[in-house]
């Protein structure tokens, strides 16, 4: 069940890109398509990179760790930005957030 | 009982024979003569063909609660309604061209021409119905014209009056072959998307025909005329070709191209909105189709050079065609 409420996830939360969401990277942005709603969403370069990492990682913290070496921002800001992005994506049904214990 | 209402005398024959053709990526088998589509299957025809049949109008009139209207629109010449019916598939009803039913998998098209035949009903078949079937069979369709030059396809997108057909026609007169007019079917494949030939017809506005005069003769004979444009047969390439470039036409008062000049500049980075909005079909929203559309647009952006082609206020299709030919021949690796 997709998360629809605006709730900022924790770094320990599990993140999953559901099967009804597909995305492709273009030169300057990533286009994310929600197949259930038929809506396209555009992510800029940094957000697109974060989204890809969220798709690969198990938890928000793992995604942040993988991004830390690539993005030239302080770690606390990266964590904050990633949590905000994740909340925004979850609101649109583009990621699903689950607590660390899987519930 | 085979219907006899068509615009071709040959179709009045008592026993319908199968006519084979190929367009928009579809291998076609028709139970009636096809207008504006080259006869003969392509040598490497693959998979199951799309079958075209004539139907009685009543057979396609099933409606009721289970039929869902997806779109209604009208233009100067006709009014259109597109429904989806659980048994018939997509049903396109028009006042002028009759009714068409396209099965959900795009493998069967039933055509009920208007009473008396109605000249030119196959215009709707070529221009709307077959592209729709192609989409259902996994091809992605764009509002674009295209020509073949040196074994590569060059496509032209843009608004309805941007001059896509005029530029394509002028390139034909300079020796290119027609790939398609107005609807381009692309197949993702590997590497550059493949541009599949459409119908062997170009719709030449009377104003453009007047400009061309006798120079239009190589295009071939006139097939139909709707009062504003003459649909002319044109030599069409037989095979799909890799798409080498996509030009987005734009008439621009401040193009820097001069009063009647042409400016061609890369679209870099490619704008996904530009590609997604160039679709020919905004009706089919199934997950499979949407996924395919994004994939093809992504492939286009990654593999095919995109250019904005700005022309000055005194648009001259012949000048634009000359500029495109020169530009295309200079494309590296294209």
Give chain A's length: 103
Beta strands in chain B (DSSP E): 19-23, 26-30, 50-54, 68-74, 79-85, 89-94, 98-102, 108-112, 140-149, 152-157, 177-180, 183-187, 194-196, 201-205, 222-225, 229-233, 241-251, 262-266, 306-311
**Chain B, nearest residue to A30 by Cα:** B272
Q: Is B272 an 8 Å CB contact of chain A?
A: yes
Provide the mean pLDDT of chain A. Answer: 91
Inter-chain residue contact A26 with B276, CB threshold 8 Å: no
The per-residue pLDDT for range B64-95, each reduced to its tens digit, is 668 899 999 988 778 999 999 999 999 999 98
Q: Which residues of A touch B285 (CB under 8 A)?
A: 38
The per-residue pLDDT for range B21-50, each reduced to its tens digit, is 999 999 999 999 999 999 988 877 677 999
What local confidence, expressed as pLDDT, does residue B7 receive? 34
Q: Tell me the torsion sign for CA atoms A62, A63, A66, A68.
A: negative
Q: Tell me the torsion sign for CA atoms B279, B281, B286, B288.
A: negative
Our CA-based measurement puts residue A101 at a distance from the nearest CA of chain B, in whole angstroms, of: 32
The Cα B304–Cα B281 span in angstroms is: 21
Mean pLDDT (whole number) for B321-331: 95
**Chain A, nearest residue to B287 by Cα:** A35
Mean pLDDT (whole number) for B279-305: 96
Our CA-based measurement puts residue B16 at a distance from the nearest CA of chain A, in whole angstroms, of: 42
Query: Residue B183 — very low, low, confident or very high, per pLDDT cuts 50/70/90?
Result: very high
Which token pair is A41? 């969403």
The per-residue pLDDT for range B120-175, each reduced to its tens digit, is 899 999 999 999 999 999 999 999 999 999 999 999 999 888 899 999 999 999 99
Mean pLDDT (whole number) for A29-46: 96
Provide the mean pLDDT of chain B. Answer: 88
What local confidence, expressed as pLDDT, does residue B256 receive? 55
Q: Kindly tell me if the per-residue pLDDT of B332 is higher than 90.
A: no
Mean pLDDT (whole number) for A32-59: 95
Mean pLDDT (whole number) for B239-253: 92
Our CA-based measurement puts residue A42 at a distance from the nearest CA of chain B, in whole angstroms, of: 9
**Chain A, nearest residue to B277 by Cα:** A40
Our CA-based measurement puts residue A27 at a distance from the nearest CA of chain B, in whole angstroms, of: 6
CA distances from A35 to A20, A50, B49, B246, B288 (A): 5, 21, 29, 27, 9
Query: Residue B287 — very low, low, confident or very high, per pLDDT cuts 50/70/90?
Result: very high
Our CA-based measurement puts residue B249 at a distance from the nearest CA of chain A, in whole angstroms, of: 22
What local confidence, expressed as pLDDT, does residue B166 receive? 94
User: In chain B, which among 290-329 make CB contacts under 8 A with chain A?
Assistant: 290-291, 294-295, 297-298, 301-302
Query: Residue A5 — very low, low, confident or very high, per pLDDT cuts 50/70/90?
Result: low
Of the candidates B273, B294, B302, which has its C-beta nearest A22's C-beta?
B294
Our CA-based measurement puts residue A24 at a distance from the nearest CA of chain B, in whole angstroms, of: 6
Share of chain B above pLDDT 70, in %: 89
* Residues whose CB is less than 8 angstroms from the CB of residue B74 and which lie 6 or more positions away in sequence, other chains included: B80
Q: At B279, is the secondary structure helix, strand, or coil?
A: strand
The per-residue pLDDT for range B222-234, each reduced to its tens digit, is 998 888 899 999 9
Of the candidates A26, A27, A38, which has its C-beta nearest B285's C-beta?
A38
Inter-chain residue contact A33 with B290, CB threshold 8 Å: yes
What local confidence, expressed as pLDDT, does residue B1 receive? 37
Of the candidates B287, B295, B298, which has its C-beta nearest A26's C-beta?
B298
**Chain B, nearest residue to A45 by Cα:** B269
Q: Mutate which of A27, A32, A36 to disrupt the B interface (most B C-beta within 10 Å)?
A: A27
Mean pLDDT (whole number) for A58-71: 94
Of the candidates A22, A31, A35, which has its C-beta nearest B272's C-beta?
A31
């Amino acid at each position: 069940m997709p998360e629809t409420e605006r709730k900022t996830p924790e770094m320990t939360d599990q993140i999953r890109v559901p099967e009804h969401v597909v995305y492709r990277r273009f030169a300057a942005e990533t286009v994310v398509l929600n197949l259930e709603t038929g809506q396209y969403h555009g992510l800029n370069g940094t957000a697109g990179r974060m989204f890809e990492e969220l798709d690969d990682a198990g938890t928000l913290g793992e995604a942040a760790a993988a991004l830390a070496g690539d993005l030239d921002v302080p770690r606390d800001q990266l964590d904050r930005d990633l949590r905000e992005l994740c909340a925004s994506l979850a609101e649109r049904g583009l990621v699903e957030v689950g607590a660390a214990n899987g519930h | 009982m085979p219907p006899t209402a068509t615009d071709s005398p040959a179709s009045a024959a008592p026993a319908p024979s199968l006519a084979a053709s190929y367009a928009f990526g579809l291998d076609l088998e028709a139970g009636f003569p096809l207008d504006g589509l080259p006869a003969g299957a392509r040598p490497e025809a693959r998979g199951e063909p799309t079958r075209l049949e004539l139907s009685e109008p009543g057979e396609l009139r099933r409606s009721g609660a289970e039929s869902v209207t997806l779109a209604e629109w009208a233009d100067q010449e006709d009014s259109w309604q597109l429904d989806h019916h659980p048994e018939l598939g997509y049903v396109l009803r028009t006042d002028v061209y009759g009714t068409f039913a396209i099965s959900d998998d795009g493998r069967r098209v039933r055509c009920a021409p208007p009473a008396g035949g109605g000249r030119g009903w196959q215009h709707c078949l070529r221009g709307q119905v077959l592209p729709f079937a192609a989409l259902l069979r996994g091809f992605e369709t764009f509002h674009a014209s295209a020509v073949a030059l040196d074994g590569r396809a060059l496509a032209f997108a843009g608004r309805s009056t941007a001059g896509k057909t005029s530029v394509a026609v002028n390139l034909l007169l300079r020796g290119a072959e027609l790939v398609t007019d107005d609807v381009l079917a692309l197949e993702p494949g590997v590497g550059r998307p493949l541009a599949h030939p459409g119908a062997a017809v170009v719709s030449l506005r009377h104003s453009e025909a007047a400009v061309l005069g006798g120079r239009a003769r190589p295009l071939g004979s006139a097939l139909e005329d709707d009062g504003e444009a003459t649909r002319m047969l044109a030599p069409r390439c037989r095979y799909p070709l890799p798409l080498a470039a996509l030009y987005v036409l734009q008439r621009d008062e401040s193009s820097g191209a001069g009063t009647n000049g042409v400016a061609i500049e890369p679209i870099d980075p490619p704008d996904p909105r530009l590609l997604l909005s160039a679709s020919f079909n905004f009706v089919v929203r199934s997950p499979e189709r949407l996924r395919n559309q994004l994939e093809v647009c992504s492939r286009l952006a990654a593999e095919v050079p995109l250019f904005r082609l700005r022309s000055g206020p005194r648009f001259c299709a012949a000048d634009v065609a000359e500029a495109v030919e020169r530009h295309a021949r200079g494309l590296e690796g294209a």
